[in-house]
Structure 1
């Protein structure tokens, strides 16, 4: 049975000097989109998130995320408030068999880290996660190494839309890649 799919992309604090290792990164923006089995966009969600440990964007982060400014981050709610809204959004179109996906494991790990940091429940705990980057690589013939979303779009002759490194735009682009990222059949793998 086909079910609606939730696609999520995050942007996070970052530095190129090693001062913010992956386990200390904090979410800056989340974008999410519910996709029907036929590919139709059902709903969208976007929010900035105010970090609590390193609220100032680094120079590197400003270069990597030029469409996210400090004022938007300063005015944003913190993760607990955003997580509550995300949990509500995740319930909105959920059906039996629904799952959520992201381009790689980072977003899944980051949501778990943020929730642990703030001592709150994972807002997506009741939805299984799929690593769409891995699924894309597995589905290619011949097999390819995992690649970034932009490279995958080029392979599929798709033109990225919106601004790269804006969570909702990237989420919408990832949603366009869903037909090329099938979930593995557990029966075939065992």
Structure 2
């Protein structure tokens, strides 16, 4: 591990994509992570120092719905050749181990709750400490409003162009990091 990574403090910005349907065919309590997108945002430089992206093969609902494929652009082939959740978590934790000091952040509470749900289902230890930053909530506080914005709406409100594909974990993680950087470094 490099000394640089030890000295720096990071915000781990995560965005998950999961199995889903618009008709209730995939109930909320049976949704499974199919993509982990994560970036390490350096608190000193406000630059992304590292990225992680992993597709995951679902086991409860192994066939993605047309709605899920359209929403995420993740194809059945992407998840078919991916590892199942416990194996994917080994890869994720290996990447995380390169960073000594980070706080788990996400847009809202969904990602944290989905990690907890999948860890419990698969018997995997939850990889984060109890600290979690809800960037969606911080964005509303930054604006001084009670309204909760979606990520794309927040980018638009700030005049930041959405980069990549919305509802793809790695692209959304990058975009969320841009929002967080803006609210933490701007003078309004």
Q: 1:48 aligns with which of 55, 80, 88?
A: 55
Displacement of 1:176 after TM fit?
0.5
C-alpha distance in 1 between matches for 2:64 and 2:27: 15
TM-score normalised over the length of structure 2: 0.89
Displacement of 1:88 after TM fit?
2.1
Match of 1:117 in 2: 121
Equivalences for residues 6-85 of structure 1 within 5 A: 6-37=12-43, 38-66=45-73, 68-85=74-91
C-alpha distance in 2 between matches for 1:75 and 1:42: 28
> CA-to-partner distance for each residue in 1:108-159, whole Å, 9 max, x for gaps?
00000000000110122x3621111111111213x14111100000111100
Match of 1:160 in 2: 162
Residues 86 and 123 in structure 1, CA contact (< 8 A), matched pair in contact too = no
Match of 1:134 in 2: 137
Please state whether the residue corresponding to 1:92 is helix, strand or coil: coil
C-alpha distance in 2 between matches for 1:59 and 1:44: 28
Displacement of 1:180 after TM fit?
4.4
Displacement of 1:3 after TM fit?
2.2
Equivalences for residues 87-126 of structure 1 within 5 A: 87-95=93-101, 98-124=102-128, 126=129
Q: What is the number of equivalent residue pairs in this alignment?
A: 177
Please state whether the residue corresponding to 2:22 is helix, strand or coil: coil
Q: Tell me, which stretches of 5 or more residues in structure 1 are unaligned?
A: 183-190
Displacement of 1:94 after TM fit?
2.8
C-alpha distance in 2 between matches for 1:63 and 1:152: 22
Q: Tell me, which stretches of 5 or more residues in structure 2 are unaligned?
A: 1-7
Match of 2:3 in 1: none
C-alpha distance in 2 between matches for 1:159 and 1:181: 15
Please state whether the residue corresponding to 2:64 is helix, strand or coil: coil
> CA-to-partner distance for each residue in 1:15-59, whole Å, 9 max, x for gaps?
111121211100110110101112111111000000011010111
